[in-house]
Amino acid sequence: MDEKLYKYMDWPRIEAVVYGEEVSPKDVMGPRITKDGVLIQGFFPEAKSAKVIAGKKEYQMEMEDEAGYFAVLLPAKRIPKYSFLVQWKDYEKQWKDPYQYSGQLLPEEEKAFCAGVYYESYKKLGAHLMTVDGVEGTYFAVWAPNAQRVSVVGDFNNWDGRFLMMHRMPMSGIFELFVPDIKAGTLYKYEIKEKSGKLSLKADPYGFGAEKPKDCASVVTDLSGFSWNDGEWMEARKKYDDRKQPISIYETDITKWESGEELAEFMKETGYTHVEFKPVMEYLEESTGGYSTSSYYAPTSRFGTPEKFQKAVNLLHQAEVGVILDWTPAQFPRFEGGLEKFDGTPLYEIPDESASVHPMWGTMLYNYGSPMVRDFLIGNACFWAEVYHVDGFRMDDVDAMLYLDYGRNMGEWQPNLYGTNENFYAVEFLKHLNSIVKKRNPGVLLIAQEDGLWPELTDSVENDHLGFDYKWSGGWTRDFLEYLASEPENRKRSHDQLTLSTLYAYSEHYILTLGSRDVGTLDDFRKRIWGDENQKEAEIRAAYGYMTLHPGCKMSAPDKEMPKALKEYIRDLNTLYKEQPALWKKDDDYEGLEWIQLMKYEENVLTFLRKTENPSETLLAVCNFAADTYENYPVGVPYAGKYKEIFNSDLKKYGGNGVGNPRVKTAKSQEWDERPYSIKMKIPALGILVFSVTPQEETKKASGRKVSEKRVSEKCACIESTAEKKTRRTKK
């Protein structure tokens, strides 16, 4: 052994490398300048020989450990660019030494990550294509602070973790390494050696691409190549005020669509303002509906490439459709290559095993007390909003986040320090999340699915509340579907299930849902409601209609292959909703709805007004959930004037019987429903009617305009006649 070389050998550290226990391989391997030249060391398990190639020169390396540890002193004062040429028994391979390249994580970034306030950790953690010192490759970084060793593995090193050991950053426990010549499309995982010595293969928590779920490898992915042209939409989003806009959401599974073009065309045809995707992040099992998220930063390969998803969002924005994602920050699935005990310890999950498992789903619950976990999740929301231009998130299972006793019996949970059941870590996380997402991405919607009646969930963080924009109205959905399941003759006993929701409709900002979770497919919807085939179709139309007329934003999920008549009905219903300010302008104000009659439980009829501050925008709504058609049905109204039917769910083009009121109704001074005026109408069975209201003063103005126009016309005719007579006399 060369004596000069020998004195530079750090044998304990070399042994740690050989046994796969070195957390700082750059401190041992790679190049460094000494007084005797440039020292280069490398570990090539089971290799027979190795050379350093620097320019046109080759330098034979000396084997320092028979396991495959080599070293050489180059007669140079500066570190040259070099590569290794390594010979095994049956083959040889040449590659650039990854330990000659500097790390990319800045101290201030590492500090922000440790404090949970980086919000852009995805820009460094994960796999990033880049050029370092003129060399193209991929920079890998993963958080695994308790690991004994972390290696990046793939076909490029035969999935052997003895190669490409990553370097640990002491402040954060992030392991990083730039690997030359790794290109987009390369599969990889992290091999993690736990303190116990156990080896495990893990997918990249920050991976931008993911292999098919069974294998769960991550994929090196370039997200910079797509050319967006939704600039106008993104600029408008910054000023978007959802309280002054109609919101009608179509819920769907993106994997059901062949392309973004197909979906964008469907959205144009049906008139929805937003689409809500069931989870698009890569997930494990089909049976979970996408909610077993396995790769939070990767779109599911079931739809296609990340670029295909970018294109879909781009096309939807061009069609003036917002994009909302279902998102699962409450829990993650248990599988060998996932987040559970990522580095051999509870890293992402709650450390207490008795509290870490979701009692209903058997999944793992996030540890919101960890700043790094909070940053992972907040950064994930920012990533989808900023990189994929997503316009909102519907957060699943918020109850499981907020309540320590969620789904648990007495004795199965530990109260907080005040002896109550609130998870204060989750409360602060949600406040932090919602405030940061809104600050960085104004106009992005934040929606909660929460049935635990957490108070003022949609009030602002500034008022010390959680700061959601909306929450699903689970109570309205359950009551309404129970009502529809009963026979009309029995509905009088549960009439309040139609009206109870208006007592609390203004306590939060609600989204009413008849989504896939609520009713399933159209066939499922038909099975759970009363009636024969035609009656079921009428009830489905009435259900969507009543939801549209009720205060609150809307979400529905009719099948993409829905019947043509229903598709036309949905389109016209959405058009009505968007064009009539009374249906959305005062959703958060008691003055936006005025009951005319809510006690006709024997007849299963509701009548009410939807209003704005402008009386001319008032609408009269009539809802009949009886199986009977009513002729000459009296309805009390507050204004004298004209009432014109502008929407009817029973039109023949929708599959109905055509029962309606084609002529404009004039209110008569006949008191009804404790109103000074009334009109009489036909109400179709299981039908919804909407009338525009023109109060008498407006009618008089219109009549006055007509009289004035008539007089002007007569005067013009008289002048024209006189001029003709003069012309005739002149000709004579």
Secondary structure (DSSP) of 548-577: HHSSSEEEE---TT--HHHHHHHHHHHHHH
Residue 509 maps to a domain: yes
440 in helix, strand or coil? helix
From the list 156, 154, 37, the residue with the least C-alpha distance to 96 is 156
In a domain, 158, yes or no: yes
Query: Domain for residue 726, yes or no?
Result: no
Please indicate, yes or no, whether residues 186 and 256 belong to a single structural domain of this protein: no
| 53 occurs within a structural domain | yes
Distance CA 169, CA 175 (A): 6
Give the E-state strand segments of 12-169 in sequence order.
Answer: 30-34, 37-43, 49-54, 57-60, 62-65, 69-74, 83-87, 92-96, 126-132, 135-143, 149-153, 167-168
3-class state of residue 366 by DSSP:
strand
Cα separations in angstroms, 156 against 59, 83, 89: 24, 15, 18
Instruction: Tell me what pLDDT residue 343 has.
Output: 98
Q: What CATH number does the domain containing 503 carry?
A: 2.60.40.1180
Whether residue 540 lies inside any domain: the answer is yes
Q: pLDDT value at position 701?
A: 47
Identify the residue whose tokens are 């917002």. 322
Same domain assignment for residues 339 and 446: yes
Of the three residues 100, 118, 133, the one that is the final residue of a domain is 100
Name the pTM for this structure: 0.92
Does 130 share its domain with 164? yes
> Considering 219, 236, 255, which residue would you say is the last residue of a domain?
219
- Mean pLDDT of successive 10-residue stretches along the chain, which has 732 residues: 89 96 96 96 97 96 97 95 96 96 96 98 98 98 98 97 96 98 98 97 98 88 96 96 94 96 98 97 88 95 96 98 98 95 98 93 96 98 98 96 95 95 98 98 97 94 97 96 95 93 94 94 94 96 98 96 97 98 96 95 96 96 98 96 98 98 97 97 98 79 42 44 40 37
pLDDT at residue 698, as a whole number: 53
Domain membership of residue 229 (yes or no) is no
- Is position 722 within any domain? no
Q: What is the pLDDT of residue 149?
A: 98
Residue 162 and residue 55 share a domain: no
My answer on whether 535 and 671 are in the same domain is yes
Q: Are strands 281-283 and 293-299 parallel, antiparallel or unpaired?
A: antiparallel
Q: Are residues 342 and 274 in the same domain?
A: yes
Same domain, 54 and 150: no
CA distance 457 to 447: 10
pLDDT reported for residue 697: 73
Range of the domain at 56: 3-100
Number of structural domains found in the chain? 4
Look at residue 705 and tell me if it is in a domain: no
Question: Do 41 and 119 reside in the same domain of the chain?
Answer: no
Instruction: Give me the pLDDT at residue 232, please.
Output: 97
Domain CATH for 137: 2.60.40.10
Handedness of CA 717, 718, 719, 720 (dihedral sign): positive
* First and final C-alpha spacing in the chain: 134
Per residue in 181-240, pLDDT (tens digit) is: 999 999 999 999 999 999 999 999 999 999 987 778 999 999 999 999 999 999 999 999
Q: Is 27 exposed, middle or buried (0-12, 13-18, 19+ CB in 10 A)?
A: middle
